[in-house]
Structure 1
């Protein structure tokens, strides 16, 4: 049986007296596109921070590619081939597009500038941003900045990556975009996995219906610290379960308070 890329075993996390995650199990397998949905404030972004190694669980175990995570990145843990795409792109305004994409390689690799520029151009081409290396973030649109952040998430040092593609974590990647801009980003996200084979799997946190439908195959529904439902995206939209039905219709009547 195929081994999971990500595995959580009874993971819990609280901030003060507020329990965010309560004994949560999760598995993500190679090639999967998993959506994490649920009401605002339930801890979806916390899931991404735990997976990225930005924070540590209070209890439970997190495994990435079979290796147990013992510490956070701040404590010296290696990133383990995980790329996080932030909601607001989080580009450095003072750096060019190319410098933003290649930033981690410039800072942490032993690659030559020429090789980094080559890798940067390659990743930008994958997200439809060829010939933009010398532009600054202020010179491109919001949707284009999102695509630059995607290129940054999939770049890695070929001398240390061991041919393992990044696992991508998306935090509301289409927030604030018009419908056409959203569709462009959704198409790129899906093709990076299924066509370009530029990542090994991804988790998507979003409230946007088009993004859920176009970028996910499987959904986990987070509410009150638990995954209340898990299944295919198609089954989620057909479900008569009150939690899912209320979430997708936006009704104020139902179990979500």
Structure 2
């Protein structure tokens, strides 16, 4: 096995008296498409935010390309860029698509506006969206907003090539989309990985069966703050693990406690 690109060792996180992650170990390898699945409230999105450096664990260590991370994003420079696509797209409603996708460059680079607009155009074309730079998020469909958020996540800064995202983190990228829009987004996730533009490693949190099967190679199942199963997508249908069998079938009978 190659050395992990990202490694979590003994990661724990609690919110008040609720323990969300309990000494989780997780390795993400170069070129991997990893899905993190499990019931709601089991720490899937929390893990993404910890990997992205947006949230600090209570215990444990995080290694990025073998280098231990200290603090949060902005406190120190990771050896690779990590981009994140949020569940609700997280676009600025008062900004145009161009301003949303190029936000960091407009705010934190010395690039001329014309060059930033050209970079934005290239990224929008990569996600299958052309001629929408002057639109606002409210003028876009849900699937289009998702794709705009993808374009923003893969935006690189020519002034600092080391910040270009090598890893993408997707938090429920097909949540709330109809089956056709979901398929478009799922195909795009794979296409971005194979486009030869970096971003060939990604971690995706999802509940949707089609998204798991169409976008992932390896699957990790989280329950009660722990990794309870991991395997290939093909093994989902053959595993004897009772948690996975119940989750796959959607049955209310089994070791997973139904909520609500």
TM range (shorter): over 0.9
For normalisation by structure 1, the TM-score amounts to 0.94
Deviation track 1:42-79 (CA, whole Å, cap 9, x = no partner) reads 111110110111111111110122221110136x3446
User: What is aligned with 1:199?
Assistant: 199
| Larger CA deviation: 34-43 vs 80-89 | 80-89
Offset at residue 196 of structure 1 (A): 4.7
Indicate conservation of the 8 Å contact 1:85/1:168, yes or no.
Answer: yes
For normalisation by structure 2, the TM-score amounts to 0.93
Provide the C-alpha distance between the structure 2 equivalents of 1:143 and 1:172, rounded to a whole number of angstroms: 12
Deviation track 1:9-28 (CA, whole Å, cap 9, x = no partner) reads 11111122221111111111
Matches of residues 167-182 of structure 1 in structure 2 within 5 Å? Answer: 167-182=167-182
Query: Match of 2:120, SS?
Result: helix
Indicate conservation of the 8 Å contact 1:126/1:196, yes or no.
Answer: no
User: What is aligned with 1:10?
Assistant: 10
Provide the C-alpha distance between the structure 2 equivalents of 1:86 and 1:107, rounded to a whole number of angstroms: 20
Offset at residue 164 of structure 1 (A): 5.2
Query: Match of 1:166, SS?
Result: strand
Deviation track 1:228-249 (CA, whole Å, cap 9, x = no partner) reads 1111111123222211110011
Deviation track 1:135-168 (CA, whole Å, cap 9, x = no partner) reads 1112221101100000000002122123854311
Provide the C-alpha distance between the structure 1 equivalents of 2:170 and 2:4, rounded to a whole number of angstroms: 19
Provide the C-alpha distance between the structure 2 equivalents of 1:65 and 1:157, rounded to a whole number of angstroms: 21
| Larger CA deviation: 33-42 vs 22-31 | 22-31
| Distance change in 2, residues 1:165/1:84 (3 Å) | closer
Q: Which stretches of structure 1, 4 residues or longer, exceed 6 Å deviation after superposition?
A: none
Matches of residues 1-257 of structure 1 in structure 2 within 5 Å? Answer: 2-73=2-73, 76-78=75-77, 80-162=80-162, 165-257=165-257
Query: Match of 1:162, SS?
Result: helix
In structure 2, the gaps of 5 or more residues are none
Provide the C-alpha distance between the structure 1 equivalents of 2:247 and 2:114, rounded to a whole number of angstroms: 49
Provide the C-alpha distance between the structure 2 equivalents of 1:150 and 1:139, rounded to a whole number of angstroms: 17
| Distance change in 2, residues 1:133/1:8 (3 Å) | same
Provide the C-alpha distance between the structure 1 equivalents of 2:195 and 2:156, rounded to a whole number of angstroms: 19
Indicate conservation of the 8 Å contact 1:81/1:161, yes or no.
Answer: no
In structure 1, the gaps of 5 or more residues are none
Offset at residue 94 of structure 1 (A): 1.2
Provide the C-alpha distance between the structure 1 equivalents of 2:165 and 2:206, rounded to a whole number of angstroms: 23
| Distance change in 2, residues 1:201/1:239 (3 Å) | same
Indicate conservation of the 8 Å contact 1:243/1:254, yes or no.
Answer: yes
Query: Match of 1:91, SS?
Result: coil
Q: Cα RMSD over matched residues?
A: 1.6
